[in-house]
Amino acid sequence: MRNRIFTAETRRRGVFLNKNRVRLVAFFFSASLCLGGLFSAAAQSDGSQQNKTGRAGTFAIVNARVVTVSGAVIENGTVVIQDGKIVAVGASVNIPSNAEKIDGKGLSVYPGMIDAGTNLGLAEIGQGANATMDVAETGTQNANAKAILAVNPHSSHVNVTRVNGITTVQTYPSGGLIAGQSAVINLNGSTQAEMAVVSAEGLVINFPRIATFGGFNPGVGPQVIEFNDAVKRRDTQIDELKKTFKSAENYGRAKDAYAKDKSLPYPATDLRLEALVPYVRGQRPIIFTVERERDIRAVARFVADMKVKGIIVGGQEAWKAADELKKNNIAVIYTNIYNLPVRDDDSYDYLYEAPSKLQQAGVRFAISTGDGGAEVRDLPYQAGIAGAFGLSKEDALKSVTLYPAQILGVDDRLGSIEVGKMANIVVTDGDLLEPRTNIKYLFIGGRLLALTSRHTELFDSFKDRKESNQPLP
Amino acid sequence: MKTLTSIFIVLLLGLATLAQTRNEVLIKNATVLTAIHGTLENTDILIRDGKIAKIGKNLAAGGSAKIIDATGKFISPGIIDCHSHTMMDAINEGSLSVTSMTRIRDVLNPTDIAIYRALAGGVTTANLLHGSANAIGGQNSTVKFKFGHPIEDFMIPDAPPGIKFAMGENPKRSSQTFQPGQTPRYPRTRMGTLEVMRDAFVRARDYKQAWDDYKAKKTKVPPRRDIELEPIVEILEGKRLVHAHGYRSDEHLNLMLLADEFGFKVATLQHGLEAYKIAPEIARRGTGVSIFADSWSYKLEAYDSIPYNAYILWKNGVVVSINSDSDERMRRLNLDAAKMMKYGGVPEEEALKMVTLNPAKQLGIDKRTGSIEVGKDADIVIWSAHPFSVYSHADMTLIEGDVYFDRSNDIQKRPEIAKEREALEKMDINKAPASGATSPRIPSEKRTEERDEAEYGDNR
Surface of A (119-138) touching B: CB under 8 A: 124-129
- A1 CB neighbours in chain B (<8 A) are 292, 295, 298, 324-326, 328-329, 449-450, 460
Which residue among A127, A385, A435 sits closest to B342, beta carbon to beta carbon? A435
Q: Which residues contact A134 (CB under 8 A, 6 or more apart)?
A: A122, A123, A150, A152, A173
Lowest mean pLDDT among A7-11, A134-138, B40-44, B267-271: A7-11
Task: Please name which of A345, A87, A71, A400 lies closest in space to residue B390, comparing C-alpha atoms.
Answer: A400
- A371 CB neighbours in chain B (<8 A) are none
DSSP designation for A126: S
State whether residue B316 sits within 8 Å of chain A by CB: no
Testing the interface with A: which of B253, B291, B295, B298 to mutate, by most A Cβ within 10 A? B298
The predicted pLDDT at position A473 comes to 87
* Beta carbons of A342 and B391 less than 8 Å apart: no
Domain coordinates of chain A in residue numbers? 3-51+113-414+446-460, 57-112+415-445
Testing the interface with A: which of B115, B176, B300, B429 to mutate, by most A Cβ within 10 A? B300
- Reported as a single tens digit per residue, the pLDDT across B64-115 is 999 999 999 999 999 999 999 999 999 999 999 999 999 999 999 999 999 9
User: Half-sphere exposure of residue A377, counting CA atoms within 13 Å on the CB side?
Assistant: 26
Surface of B (51-110) touching A: CB under 8 A: none
- B178 CB neighbours in chain A (<8 A) are 218-219
State whether residue B48 sits within 8 Å of chain A by CB: no
Name the band, by pLDDT with cuts 50, 70 and 90, for residue B6. Answer: low
CB neighbour burial string for B379-401, b if at least 16 within 10 angstroms, e if fewer:
bbbbbbbbbbbbbbbbbbbbbbb
Strand ranges inside A396-453, DSSP E = 425-428, 439-444, 447-448
Q: What is the mean pLDDT of residues B334-350?
A: 98
Helix (H, G, I), strand (E, B) or coil at B54: strand
The predicted pLDDT at position B306 comes to 98
* Beta carbons of A219 and B178 less than 8 Å apart: yes
Which residue among B299, B315, B326 sits closest to A127, beta carbon to beta carbon? B299
Phi-psi region of A278 (alpha: psi -120 to 50; beta: other; left: phi over 0): alpha
For the cut 60, the answer to whether the pLDDT of residue A47 exceeds it is no
- What's the CATH number for A57-112+415-445? 2.30.40.10
The dihedral sign for the CA sequence B11, B12, B13, B14: positive
Quick check: B370 and B361 in contact, CB under 8 A?
A: yes
List, in order of start, the domains of chain B with CATH numbers: 79-367+452-458 (3.20.20.140)
* Beta carbons of B446 and A344 less than 8 Å apart: yes
- Reported as a single tens digit per residue, the pLDDT across A49-63 is 434 789 999 999 999
The predicted pLDDT at position A109 comes to 98
* Beta carbons of B303 and A384 less than 8 Å apart: no
For chain A, what percentages of helix, strand and coil (3-state, to nearest 5) are there? 35, 20, 45
State whether residue B459 sits within 8 Å of chain A by CB: no
Name the band, by pLDDT with cuts 50, 70 and 90, for residue B433. Answer: low
The predicted pLDDT at position A461 comes to 97
**Concatenated DSSP letters of A259-326:** HH-TTSPPPPP-HHHHHHHHHHTTSS-EEEEE-SHHHHHHHHHHHHHHT--EEEEE-TTGGGGHHHHH
Q: What is the mean pLDDT of residues B275-294?
A: 98
Q: What percent of chain A has pLDDT over 90?
A: 82
For the cut 50, the answer to whether the pLDDT of residue A7 exceeds it is no
**Concatenated DSSP letters of A37-100:** HHHHHHHS--GGGTT---B---EEEEEEEE--SSS--EEEEEEEEETTEEEEEESS-PPPTTPE
Quick check: A324 and A359 in contact, CB under 8 A?
A: no
Task: Please name which of B409, B401, B386, B404 lies closest in space to residue B45, comparing C-alpha atoms.
Answer: B401
- Reported as a single tens digit per residue, the pLDDT across A11-41 is 333 333 333 333 333 333 333 333 333 333 3
Quick check: B148 and B115 in contact, CB under 8 A?
A: no
Residue of B nearest to A38 (CA): B300
**Average model confidence (pLDDT) for chain A?**
90
Quick check: B101 and B402 in contact, CB under 8 A?
A: no
Q: Reading across the β-sheet that carries A113-118, which strands appear in turn? A: A113-118, A166-171, A183-186, A196-198
**Neighbour tally for A360: CB within 10 Å:** 12
- A126 CB neighbours in chain B (<8 A) are 297-299
Closest CA of chain A from B297, distance in Å:
5
Which residue among B328, B438, B444 sits closest to A210, beta carbon to beta carbon? B438
* Beta carbons of A213 and B444 less than 8 Å apart: yes
**Average model confidence (pLDDT) for chain B?**
91
Surface of B (113-172) touching A: CB under 8 A: 113-114, 116-117, 120, 169
State whether residue A225 sits within 8 Å of chain B by CB: no
Q: Which residues contact B55 (CB under 8 A, 6 or more apart)?
A: B32, B34, B40, B43, B44, B45, B46, B372, B373, B374
State whether residue A467 sits within 8 Å of chain B by CB: yes
Quick check: B106 and B358 in contact, CB under 8 A?
A: no
Name the band, by pLDDT with cuts 50, 70 and 90, for residue A256. Answer: very high
The predicted pLDDT at position B19 comes to 43
Name the band, by pLDDT with cuts 50, 70 and 90, for residue B460. Answer: low
State whether residue A228 sits within 8 Å of chain B by CB: yes
Task: Please name which of A50, A334, A71, A401 lies closest in space to residue A194, comparing C-alpha atoms.
Answer: A50
Lowest mean pLDDT among A29-43, A258-272, A333-347: A29-43
The predicted pLDDT at position A226 comes to 85
Surface of B (264-303) touching A: CB under 8 A: 276-277, 279-281, 284, 292, 294-301, 303
Q: What is the mean pLDDT of residues A100-116?
A: 98
- Reported as a single tens digit per residue, the pLDDT across A371-416 is 999 999 999 999 999 999 999 999 999 999 999 999 999 999 999 9
Q: How far apart are CA B197 and CA B192, in angstroms?
A: 9
Element (H, E) at A117: strand A113-118
For the cut 70, the answer to whether the pLDDT of residue B16 exceeds it is no
Which residue among B276, B280, B433 sits closest to A228, beta carbon to beta carbon? B433
The predicted pLDDT at position A448 comes to 96
Quick check: B123 and B80 in contact, CB under 8 A?
A: yes
Length reported for chain B: 460
Strand ranges inside B264-387, DSSP E = 268-271, 288-291, 320-322, 380-383
Angle between helices A379-388 and A350-361 (to 10 degrees): 80
Quick check: A170 and A182 in contact, CB under 8 A?
A: yes
Length reported for chain A: 473
Name the band, by pLDDT with cuts 50, 70 and 90, for residue A221. Answer: confident
Dihedrals phi, psi of B425, to nearest 5 degrees: -65, -30
Q: How far apart are CA B200 and CA B375, in angstroms?
A: 40
* Beta carbons of A340 and B439 less than 8 Å apart: no
Lowest mean pLDDT among A80-84, A225-229, B67-71: A225-229
Q: Which residues contact B2 (CB under 8 A, 6 or more apart)?
A: none
- Comparing A3-51+113-414+446-460 with A57-112+415-445, is the CATH topology the same? no
DSSP designation for A19: H
Contacts 24+ apart (CB under 8 A), A327-330: A327/A300, A328/A300, A328/A303, A328/A304, A329/A364, A330/A299, A330/A300, A330/A303, A330/A363
Query: How remote is the C-alpha of A6 from its chain's centroid?
Result: 12
* Beta carbons of B445 and A228 less than 8 Å apart: no
Q: How far apart are CA A384 and CA B332, in angstroms?
A: 12
Task: Please name which of B378, B365, B367, B370 lies closest in space to residue B48, comparing C-alpha atoms.
Answer: B378
- Beta-bridged to residue A224, according to DSSP, are A213
* Beta carbons of B328 and A340 less than 8 Å apart: yes
For the cut 90, the answer to whether the pLDDT of residue A188 exceeds it is yes
State whether residue A218 sits within 8 Å of chain B by CB: yes
* Beta carbons of B113 and A124 less than 8 Å apart: no
- Reported as a single tens digit per residue, the pLDDT across A353-377 is 999 999 999 999 999 999 999 999 9
The predicted pLDDT at position B3 comes to 55
Domain covering A3-51+113-414+446-460: architecture? Alpha-Beta Barrel (3.20)
* Beta carbons of B342 and A210 less than 8 Å apart: no
Surface of B (329-348) touching A: CB under 8 A: 329, 331-332, 335, 338-339, 341-342, 344
Quick check: A167 and A195 in contact, CB under 8 A?
A: no
The predicted pLDDT at position B361 comes to 98
The predicted pLDDT at position B452 comes to 42
Which residue among B328, B344, B391 sits closest to A387, beta carbon to beta carbon? B391
Testing the interface with A: which of B188, B324, B449 to mutate, by most A Cβ within 10 A? B449
Which residue among B179, B327, B338 sits closest to A340, beta carbon to beta carbon? B327
| Interface ipTM | 0.91
State whether residue A29 sits within 8 Å of chain B by CB: no
Name the band, by pLDDT with cuts 50, 70 and 90, for residue B445. Answer: very low
Testing the interface with B: which of A223, A463, A469 to mutate, by most B Cβ within 10 A? A463
Q: What percent of chain B has pLDDT over 70?
A: 89
**Please, what is the Cα angle at B400 between B399 and B406, to 5 degrees?**
35
Rounded to two decimals, the pTM is 0.91
